[in-house]
Each structure stands twice: as structure tokens, then as C-alpha cells.
Amino acid sequence: MPIKETPIKETPIEEVTPREAVERQRRGARLLDVRENDERASGVAAGAAGLPRSEIAQRIASLVPDRDSEILTICASGKRSLLAARSLRELGYARVASVVGGLQRWRAEGLPIELGQFDADAAERYSRHLLLPEVGAAGQLKLAASRVALIGAGGLGSPAALYLAAAGVGTLTLIDDDKVEKSNLQRQVLHADARIGVPKVDSARQTLAGLNPRVRVDTHAQRLRAANVEELIRGHDVVIDGADNFPTRYLLDAACRRLRIPLVYGAVHRFTGQVSVFDARRAESPCYRCLFPHPPAAEDAPNCAEAGVLGVLPGIIGLLQASEALKLMLGIGAPLVGRLLCFDALAARFHELRLPRDPQCPGCGPLAVLQGYEDIAQLCAAH
Ligand SMILES: [Zn+2]
């Protein structure tokens, strides 16, 4: 009769409930959160030390030198913590257990959570950003420290400001000298019927504060002019061009180039719109005047009040501007530098044009000389 081989059976890893884990912590067990670093931004089980599973082999000896110590592992749902506990056992730690159900069950049972760099409001409000490795805690903190200037609290500025405020940009500066009119409400969704006649920047501030009270909203009920343009946009990380006239756009472009602030350009006309990014910090970036070297005659460039616009169109273009602004602040993705993205609502089609820097550009070319912003104002007035 053949001898029956006894299979070498690995002792399964012990699993403990979150409540049991709290009890064992009290008696001296160490709790390790084995999720990735960015996953801990929205909170950890009270008393847990962060040690991502991939770093266990290098770091456990310095974190828990005594191999007889009891170690409990926790992750989001209890799967990775089991694997981590197995690794710990292989490294010679005999007393290991995994928290069943992970942080999900921990939270569901109302056990204490510790928050890191974020208070409870921010951790919950920005939780969907914190889940993205490309944003995460570090990115969210970058946004909170960022300042965006929006020229115009109108069709383009409305969606851009709403979503930038929702995203947690620290400071939004709104520059607009108009008052809310009934004809604005078809597309300028920052405003409200009850606030017709109110300065747009005040109306906008009210809406933005209601959406995200954490965001600071600075307002200037002024028209952008040669005399104030630098003062108004200096110190910002990104400028969003939501202007409805050429003189303002030319001024803004010149000032952003001089102050080396990226300018996110957007424009709409009837059923079409376009977006681009002019970033003076990049040598290869064109400027607004590479696209429009000279201001067109007023009759060739009608604004929305003259030509009409489909209400949703500035919504689409303004959100593309907000998306570019967020990417610039976070330093992720490929910005629309050197590219003009065009949208045709009737055809439901996007197309992209290459927009190289123009060596003869009167704005950024080698022969361009900026005498002063007054010159630009006069240049525009002459056309
Ligand atoms: Zn140029």
C-alpha cells in the first residue's frame, strides 16, 4: 500500500473584523494601511500607519523591527490586505491578521477615521479627484493653491468658473464690468432671473459661493484697459479669455505674454467655437496674434449680440477652456498649445488645426516691440 503523502498546507491568514482590530490595537497590535499612498488622502482607519503593499519588503523592518509583534493589515475592501499579510508572514512576521471588509466595512461600522491633509469636507467633496492617480492628494493641493483669472463672467466664463470652483481651485478672480441682462440668461448660467440688473461679478460670486464655499472669489467690476491689465492679472497661474471683443483680447494676450502667464483662449460664433492655449513660458507656443495678426474691422467680427449664438455652445467651449486650465495647473496631459480645436455644433464635429508660431507675428515675432498697452488699444480702435 503506497504511503499517502500529506500535502503541505499553508495555514490560512487570520481575518479579523474592524471592531476586533480596534480591540487588538488597544492591546498593542500595529495596524498597517497597505493601500497606495494617494488612496489614503480621503482618510485612514484611526491609528493606521501607511505602508503600500509594494513597499512592504523594503520598509517593514524599520517600521516594525520586532518580528514577534502582532500586525494587522487593512486595505479598501480586504483583498490586498490578505496578500500583504501573506508577504509579511513570508518575511518572518508570525502574528499577522487581515481586516475583513477593509476600510469600507470600517467606515460602515462607524469606527474612527483619521484625515490627512484634508479636513472631512474636502476629503468628501474632492473624493472623485482623490481617486485619480493623476490628480490625487498632491494635485488637489496644487489646485487649492492655484489662482485663475477669468476675463468675462458671461457665456464662456460661466461654465468655466462653475467647474473650476467645483474642482477646488483656490482663488478665482472675476473681471467683468457688465450687469446681468435677461438676454444673457440663455447661456450665462452663473446668473439668475432674480438678479437681472445686478453686476455680473456679484451675481457670479453668489452662485460660486453656493456651489463651493471653500473657493475664494475675488471680483473686479472693471473693464480691462491698458492702464489696469497687468495689475488685474498679475500673480495668477492661468488666465481664461472669455472676452467678447478684440481690444480686450489683444490687451490680454500682450499682458499674458509679458507676465508669462498661460492664456486659455476660447471664442464662439453662431454654431461654432474654437479653443487654444497660448503659453508664453514655452518657446514653441504661438500667441493670439499668430492666429489674428491684426484686429479685424468691427463689421467682420460680429459678437454674440450681433450674430447670435446657440446657447449651449459657449457652455461646450467654456468647459474645454476649464479642462485646459485644470491640466495646466496640475501639469498633466497634452495642452492645446500650437493647436486650434474647432467645434461645429450643427455637424456635431470637432476638428483640429495646427497653429504653429508665426515668425512674422507682430505680437511674439523677433521684430515685435511692445511699446505699451496704449498702442494696442489704439491699434484696435483704428480698425
Ligand atoms: Zn505670435
pLDDT digits (tens, 9 = 90+) for 22-49: 999 999 999 999 998 778 867 889 888 8
State the DSSP string of 113-174. EE-SSS-HHHHHHTHHHHT-TTTHHHHHHHHHT-EEEEE-SSTTHHHHHHHHHHHT-SEEEE
Residue 2 has pLDDT above 70, yes or no: no
Give the Å distance between the CA of 261 and the centre of ligand 1. 14
290 is a catalytic site residue = no
Per the listing, cell 523594503 goes with: 58
pLDDT for 5: 54
Share of the chain above pLDDT 70, in %: 95
- At 73, the pLDDT band (50, 70, 90 cuts) reads very high
Residue 179 has pLDDT above 80, yes or no: yes
Residue 371 has pLDDT above 80, yes or no: no
Contacts of 173 (CB under 8 A, 6+ apart): 147, 148, 149, 150, 217, 218, 219, 220, 232, 233, 236
Q: Is 352 helix (H, G, I), strand (E, B) or coil?
A: strand
pTM (two decimals):
0.74
For residue 374 the three cell numbers come to 496704449
pLDDT digits (tens, 9 = 90+) for 330-367: 999 999 999 999 999 999 999 999 999 999 998 998 87
> Catalytic residue among 75, 304, 361, 364, which?
304
For residue 151 the three cell numbers come to 476675463
Give the Å distance between the CA of 293 and the centre of ligand 1. 8
Give the Å distance between the CA of 219 and the centre of ligand 1. 30
pLDDT for 44: 87
Mean predicted confidence (pLDDT) in 208-214: 97
The Cβ of residue 361 has, within 10 Å, a number of other Cβ atoms equal to 18
Give the Å distance between the CA of 44 and the centre of ligand 1. 50
pLDDT digits (tens, 9 = 90+) for 123-169: 889 989 988 889 988 899 999 999 999 999 999 999 999 999 999 99
What are the backbone angles phi and psi of residue 302, rounded to the nearest 5°? Answer: -70, 145
Instruction: Give the lowest-confidence range in 67-71, 123-127, 170-174, 261-265.
Output: 123-127
- At 119, the pLDDT band (50, 70, 90 cuts) reads confident
Work out the mean pLDDT of the chain and round it to a whole number.
Answer: 91
Give the Å distance between the CA of 280 and the centre of ligand 1. 10
pLDDT for 348: 97
Residue 383 has pLDDT above 70, yes or no: no
